[in-house]
Amino acid sequence: MASIKRQSLVPGTLDLLILKTLTAGPQHGYGIASHIKDWSREVLQIDEGSLYPALQRLRQRGWVESEWRRSPNNQRARYYTITAGGRKQLGIEEASFTETFDAIRRVLRSV
């Protein structure tokens, strides 16, 4: 689903990362990609072919909303905002991810 340079992403986590990023405030597509890249120390790089389909999907599911605004450099850009439903979904996915991740780590330490 998501094709990531350098490091492949655990399936389904792209939505989680986008929603989490948006909790910091409205952001445009490039901003979201940059945020993920920076905070992952450039391990996770998301191209447009993964990012924008994901954003469309989140919008269709009602978890994000978008509006056109002026960016700081005075260009027209589309900003995405997380909705209440999106926050709820984020809670679910974060919990589920943490649980799964802890489980995997326990197994990896087991032998």
Partner 1 sequence: MTMSIRELFARLRDRIQRERLSEELADELQYHRSLLERDTPPGRALGNATYYREETRAMWSLGLVDDLWHDARYASRVLRRDAGFTVAVILTLALGIGANTAVFSIVNAVLLRPLPYRQPDRLIEVSVAPVAAPTDRNPTSLPDLRDWQRDATMLDGIAGYAFNRFDLRGAEGDDQARAILATGTLYDVLGAVPLLGRLPRADEENTPVVAISYRLWQQRFAGNPGVLGRQLVMSQKPYTIVGVMPPGFHFPGPDIDLWSTLYSIISSPNDNGPNLWLTSRSLRGYRVLARLAPGITAPSAEAALNAIEHRLAVTFPDDDGGLDVHVQSVREQALSGVARGLWTVFGAAALILLLSCVNVAHLLLERTASRTRELAVRRALGAHRGRVLRQLAAESVLLGLLGGAAGIALAYAAMRVLLRLAPPDIPRLENVAIDLPTLAFAVTVSLIAAALFGVAPAIFGWSGDVHQTLRAQGKGAAAGAHGQGTRALLTTMEVAFAIVILIAAGLVLRSFKELTSSNIGLDPEGIAVAQLTVAGTRYLSNDMKTQTVDQVLANVRAIPGVTAAGASTSMPPTRIQEIEGFSVVGEPAPEPGHEPTAIYIPATPAFLSALRIPVATGRDFDARDDAKATPVVIISRELARRHFTHVDPVGHQLLISGVTRMIIGVAGDAIYEGVGAPLTPVVYVPFAQSPFPGVWLAIRTTTAPTAIAGQLRDAFRRVDPDLAVGPPQPLDVLVSESIVRPRFQAWLLSIFGALALVLASVGIYGVVAYGVTQRRSELGIRIALGAPKRSVVSTVLRAGMMPVLLGLAIGLAVAYAGSRVLAGLLYGVTPTDTLTFAAVPLVLFTTALIAAYVPAHRASRVDPLIAIRGE
Q: How far is CA 82 from the centre of its chain?
A: 11
**Cα–Cα distances in angstroms (integers) from residue 17 to residues 89, 108, 111, in the given order:** 12, 24, 31
27: which strand partners? Answer: 80
Query: What is the closest distance, in whole angstroms, from the C-beta atom of residue 102 to partner 1 in the complex?
Result: 27
C-alpha dist (Å) from residue 65 to 12, 24, 37, 97: 20, 15, 22, 24
Which of 24, 49, 70, 101 binds partner 1 (CB under 8 A)? It is: 49
Distance of closest approach, residue 49 Cβ to partner 1, in angstroms: 4
The single residue among 39, 42, 61, 70 that binds partner 1, judged by CB under 8 A, is: 61
CB contact set of 30 (below 8 Å; sequence gap of 6+): 77
C-beta separation of 76 from 57 below 8 A: no
What does the per-residue mask of binding to partner 1 show for 73-102, with x meaning CB under 8 A? --xxxx------------------------
When the beta carbons of 37 and 87 are compared against partner 1, the nearer one is 37
Q: Name which of residues 15 to 34 contact partner 1 (CB under 8 A).
A: 28-30, 33-34
For partner 1, the binding residue among 53, 69, 99, 105 (CB under 8 A) is: 53
Q: Which two tokens stand for residue 59?
A: 């919008």
Least distance (Å) from partner 1 to the CB of residue 59?
A: 8
